[in-house]
Amino acid sequence: MKKSNPKSYEAIQRQIQALQKQADVLKQQANAHAVEQIKKILVSSGLSIDEVVAALAVRKQAPRKVAKKISKAKTKPAATAKKAAAKKGKPKAKVKSSAPTVKYKDQQGNTWSGRGPQPKWLKDGVAAGKNLTDFAA
């Protein structure tokens, strides 16, 4: 015996639409709250909307010039002193180095990247009359 599903496709679609309307209302409320927060920040910092828009436009065009444009904007001297003090305590990001690529190898599986002194197996091969190009990977 098969049990019939009490919810139809149409009923589920109506639920989806009702939930979508609720989600849209919540998103509008969240956006309105975000706009109010932005307004408060603009008022407290003394920035104009034109300065913010200009900084955002510069960021899209050339990210490296953003700091220069923003520094030209009107800022409070105390705020810049605090930022400078905060930067001094931040550690610099570490740069990951990748493993060097293999440029030379022999039939026994020995490899050399071409960096540093030549390994013994390569010196022995060259001494035996082979060229360095014979070991190219």
112 and 67 in a single domain? The answer is: no
| Domain assignment of residue 16, yes or no | yes
72 and 15 in a single domain? The answer is: yes
Instruction: Kindly report the backbone phi and psi dihedral angles of residue 136, in degrees, each rounded to the nearest multiple of 5, phi listed first.
Output: -60, 135
Say what the pTM is.
0.35
Domain containing 59 equals: 9-79
| Domain assignment of residue 96, yes or no | no
Instruction: Output the DSSP codes for 104-120.
Output: EE-TTS-EE-S-SSPPH
Residues 64-99 pLDDT 10s? 555 555 555 555 555 565 666 566 666 677 777 777
Give the count of domains, the chain. 2
Q: Where residue 49 falls among pLDDT bands split at 50, 70, 90?
A: confident
| Domain assignment of residue 21, yes or no | yes
| Domain assignment of residue 53, yes or no | yes
121 and 70 in a single domain? The answer is: no
How close are the terminal C-alpha atoms of the chain, in Å?
69
15 and 73 in a single domain? The answer is: yes
